[in-house]
């Protein structure tokens, strides 16, 4: 994996970059939102965040886009304790401020950056989208920064280790320059807590906010955020999470959101295999896929993997599940394998048994070894099981071939 802060000189030389790179006098750091990491999920999250921020600014928050979110929290979810950043958040999201919102993007994928700039410019030509050359420039230009990266190594690089990383850039800000950082990456809890500590030591506020809902949820703005961090930081992040999702759950201190996400995805990974096995077994016993899916989804076997992400084409009516497009899109098998490994690492750390989790990890590992399947939705495990079953069927029976005459 190449580091996020690799050189993007071709972009720097392009007319498109220079067109959007320099902030105009109408922009202000306090009302500028940065987004680092424009993968499948990040791109859709950023597009929602930027678009809905503009709508909220234009309507003073009284638009069809709600600026409140459901927050389940062990503490007070009011607006106290956020200081200057709280005022900035309210100014950016909820009112027609003196300074309009502006936006900054940063990613190794030049096409993704140019696409989001083009989309935003076509829809909102009067608002700025700036392409930053590295994470430090995002920090210099933005008071609120969201990151959505592949995993732990990229987070360590972007935040700590790269020459133009986030934490050193925070340390260079003028005293009193408030910054909120929201990381939605699914990564190792210990790494996340170390990064959060260093971000806070550099004078910023940070929450971990991994998501559930997949690419479809990111596109629709219906994600659920599992959030970890101090209550003032949670309160501050809430308006921004609202623009990208439907629900935020405060799980506890830093790292708690990740703990919840890792447990959720481990359960999901096991469920998807069980649904694949059950759907295959039923068909081999003569059941039609739609009939079996109907039974499961009105019985105790019902779950997201059977009702929404059913792996069998034609099992669901009017389905847009990945199986209907040859398992393209959705949540990549390689990412599910990453999350299963995170669960196993966490289980070893706290000595908690993962019997089915370990088996599921081995299954996804075998699927991901096939390069053609690693980036397909993890429900493609059904196809792997189906091929294995068909191979078993075509094998000649062992033993005495004449004994059954």
pLDDT band at 20 (very low <50, low <70, confident <90, very high): very low
SS (H, E, C) 204-238: CEEEECCEECHHHHHHHCCEEEEEECCHHHHHHHH
Torsion sign over Cα 235, 237, 238, 239: positive
The pLDDT of residue 176: 81
Judged against a pLDDT cut of 90, whether residue 279 lies above it is answered with yes
Cα 235 to its chain centre, rounded Å, is 20
pLDDT band at 401 (very low <50, low <70, confident <90, very high): low
Query: How does pLDDT run across 90-119, given as a tens digit for each residue?
Result: 445 544 456 789 999 999 999 999 999 999
Judge whether 234 and 86 are in contact, CB under 8 Å. no
Alpha-carbon distance values, 175 to 85, 180, 202, 203, 204 (Å) = 14, 15, 10, 9, 11
The C-alpha atoms of residue 104 and residue 23 are separated, in whole angstroms, by 10
pTM confidence score: 0.83
pLDDT band at 344 (very low <50, low <70, confident <90, very high): very high
Q: H-helix or E-strand containing 104?
A: strand 102-106
- CB-count exposure of residue 230 (10 Å: 0-12, 13-18, 19+): middle
Torsion sign over Cα 193, 194, 196, 200: positive
Judge whether 2 and 108 are in contact, CB under 8 Å. yes
Please say if 25 is a catalytic residue.
no
Between 93 and 156, the higher pLDDT residue: 156
Judge whether 274 and 290 are in contact, CB under 8 Å. no
The C-alpha atoms of residue 28 and residue 102 are separated, in whole angstroms, by 8
CB count in 10 Å sphere of residue 266: 23
The C-alpha atoms of residue 356 and residue 274 are separated, in whole angstroms, by 10
Q: H-helix or E-strand containing 34?
A: strand 32-36
Cα dihedral 321/65/226/335 (nearest 10): 30
**Strand (E) positions, 186-319?**
205-208, 211-212, 223-228, 245-252
Between 405 and 270, the higher pLDDT residue: 270
Residues in a beta bridge with 34: 104, 145
Judged against a pLDDT cut of 60, whether residue 9 lies above it is answered with no
| Residue of 25, 96, 172, 261 marked catalytic | 261
Judge whether 100 and 31 are in contact, CB under 8 Å. yes
pLDDT band at 394 (very low <50, low <70, confident <90, very high): confident
The pLDDT of residue 76: 30
What DSSP assignment string belongs to 318-334? Answer: T---GGGGTT-SSSBHH
Q: Are strands 129-131 and 144-147 parallel, antiparallel or unpaired?
A: unpaired
Cα 146 to its chain centre, rounded Å, is 11
Query: How does pLDDT run across 54-91, given as a tens digit for each residue?
Result: 999 998 864 444 333 444 544 332 333 344 444 444 44
Query: How does pLDDT run across 357-389, given as a tens digit for each residue?
Result: 999 999 999 999 999 999 999 999 999 999 999
Judge whether 120 and 87 are in contact, CB under 8 Å. no
Average pLDDT, the chain: 86
Judged against a pLDDT cut of 50, whether residue 265 lies above it is answered with yes
Average pLDDT over residues 325-336: 95
Between 59 and 200, the higher pLDDT residue: 200
Torsion sign over Cα 35, 40, 41, 47: positive
Cα 381 to its chain centre, rounded Å, is 22
């Amino acid at each position: 994996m190449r580091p996020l802060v690799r050189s993007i000189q071709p972009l720097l030389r392009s007319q498109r970059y220079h067109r959007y790179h320099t902030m105009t006098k109408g922009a202000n750091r306090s009302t500028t939102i940065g987004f680092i990491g424009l993968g499948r999920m990040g791109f859709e999250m950023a597009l929602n965040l930027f678009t809905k921020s503009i709508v909220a600014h234009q309507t003073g928050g009284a638009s069809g886009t709600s600026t409140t979110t459901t927050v389940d929290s062990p503490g007070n979810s009011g607006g106290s304790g956020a200081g200057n950043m709280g005022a900035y958040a309210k100014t950016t999201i909820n009112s027609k401020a003196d300074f309009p919102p502006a936006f900054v993007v940063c990613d190794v994928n030049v096409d993704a950056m140019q696409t989001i700039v083009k989309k935003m410019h076509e829809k909102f030509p009067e608002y700025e989208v700036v392409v930053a050359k590295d994470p430090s420039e995002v920090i210099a230009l933005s008071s609120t920064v969201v990151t959505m990266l592949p995993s732990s190594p990229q987070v360590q690089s972007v935040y700590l280790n790269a020459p133009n990383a986030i934490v050193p850039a925070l340390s260079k800000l003028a005293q009193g320059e408030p910054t909120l950082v929201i990381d939605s990456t699914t990564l190792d809890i210990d790494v996340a807590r170390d990064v959060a500590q260093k971000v806070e030591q550099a004078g910023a506020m940070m929450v971990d906010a991994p998501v559930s809902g997949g690419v479809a949820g990111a596109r629709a703005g219906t994600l659920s955020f599992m959030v970890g961090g101090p209550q003032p930081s949670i309160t501050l992040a809430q308006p921004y999470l609202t623009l990208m999702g439907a629900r935020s759950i405060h799980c506890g201190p830093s790292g708690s959101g990740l703990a919840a996400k890792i447990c959720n995805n481990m359960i999901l990974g096991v469920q998807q295999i069980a649904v694949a096995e059950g759907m295959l077994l039923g068909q081999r016993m003569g059941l039609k896929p739609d009939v079996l899916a109907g039974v499961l989804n009105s019985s105790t076997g019902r779950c997201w993997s059977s009702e929404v992400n059913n792996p069998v084409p034609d099992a669901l009516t009017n389905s847009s599940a990945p199986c209907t497009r040859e398992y393209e899109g959705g949540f990549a098998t390689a990412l599910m394998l990453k999350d299963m490994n995170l669960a196993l690492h966490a289980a070893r750390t706290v000595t908690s048994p993962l019997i089915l989790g370990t088996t599921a990890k081995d299954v996804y590992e075998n699927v991901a070894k096939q390069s053609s399947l690693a980036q397909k939705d993890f429900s493609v495990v059904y196809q792997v099981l189906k091929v294995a079953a068909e191979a078993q069927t075509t094998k000649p029976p062992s033993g005495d071939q004449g004994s059954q005459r």
